[in-house]
């Protein structure tokens, strides 16, 4: 089950990740940010944490985490970049001895050339597996026996498709903030509830209450199937 406070924090930092990318794109065009510090770490999250900490005072408040949140925010920001964006076609990648060329810095310097990624059929297939893992954890929390049969019924219930995608996405976002990302499958989950007819739902904003309500509905459905 979700911890409301933790979920609220993660969603807030997720929104700041998007705002940070927008700020980076603008700052790159203006030439107001530096990548002169060379990172020896191969871990993109560690490099991101150092870069964000160094620029923290200059970041706009809408894109700036609290100092204590930098490690968590860095994991979310790196996952956001790797999961949701690709380089646009015909982008010319240029390197210079004056700039850091680690994985994180190389990606972030391409900010103006990053375009939204389109999840593949394989990503949507993996998203189904993530839903199964999420349901299994929920079933364990409620000590539901014969969980395999119950989970199969919930997955097949079209009435809860949106709620399941949303709750699973929320669970994976929390995981991203802690240590890991499931890659493009998370983007596939997002498309299942934040998009309609192959387009983003206008003015859609993900809120903690939406995810918490989705989980509550799914938990109730699990219990109902378990008792039939």
Exposed / middle / buried, residue 144 (Cβ in 10 Å: 0-12, 13-18, 19+):
buried
Strand stretches in 48-159, DSSP E:
85-87, 114-116
CB of 77 closer than 8 Å to CB of 99: no
Alpha-carbon torsion 205, 210, 212, 217, what sign?
negative
- pLDDT tens by residue, the chain, 228 residues: 999 999 999 999 999 999 998 898 888 888 777 777 777 666 788 888 988 998 899 899 999 999 999 999 999 999 888 888 887 755 555 555 567 777 788 888 887 788 888 999 999 999 999 999 999 999 999 998 888 999 999 999 999 999 999 999 999 999 989 876 667 899 999 999 999 998 999 999 999 999 999 999 999 999 999 988
CB of 27 closer than 8 Å to CB of 83: no
In tens, the pLDDT along 99-108 reads 777 778 888 8
Distance in angstroms (rounded) separating the CA atoms of residues 61 and 75 = 19
Alpha-carbon torsion 67, 211, 123, 23, what sign?
negative
CA nearest neighbour of 215 among 154, 152, 129: 154
């Amino acid at each position: 089950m979700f911890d409301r406070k933790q979920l609220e924090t993660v969603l807030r930092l997720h929104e700041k990740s998007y705002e940070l990318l927008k700020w980076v794109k603008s700052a790159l065009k203006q030439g107001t940010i530096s990548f002169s510090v060379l990172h020896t770490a191969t871990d993109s999250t560690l490099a991101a944490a150092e870069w964000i900490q160094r620029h923290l005072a200059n970041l706009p408040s809408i894109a700036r985490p609290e100092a204590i949140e930098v490690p968590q925010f860095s994991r979310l920001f790196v996952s956001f970049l790797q999961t949701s964006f690709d380089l646009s076609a015909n982008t010319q990648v240029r390197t210079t001895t004056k700039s850091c060329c680690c994985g994180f810095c190389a990606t972030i310097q391409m900010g103006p050339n990053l375009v939204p990624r389109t999840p593949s059929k394989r990503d949507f297939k993996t998203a189904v597996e993530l839903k199964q893992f999420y349901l299994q954890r929920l079933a364990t929390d409620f000590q539901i026996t014969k969980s395999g049969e119950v989970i199969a019924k919930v997955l097949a219930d079209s009435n809860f498709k949106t709620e399941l995608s949303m709750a699973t996405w929320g669970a994976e976002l929390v995981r991203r903030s802690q240590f890991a990302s499931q890659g493009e499958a998370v983007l596939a989950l997002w498309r299942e509830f934040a998009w309609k007819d192959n387009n983003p739902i206008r003015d859609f904003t993900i809120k903690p209450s939406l995810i918490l309500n989705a989980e509550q509905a799914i938990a109730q459905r699990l219990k109902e199937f378990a008792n039939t």
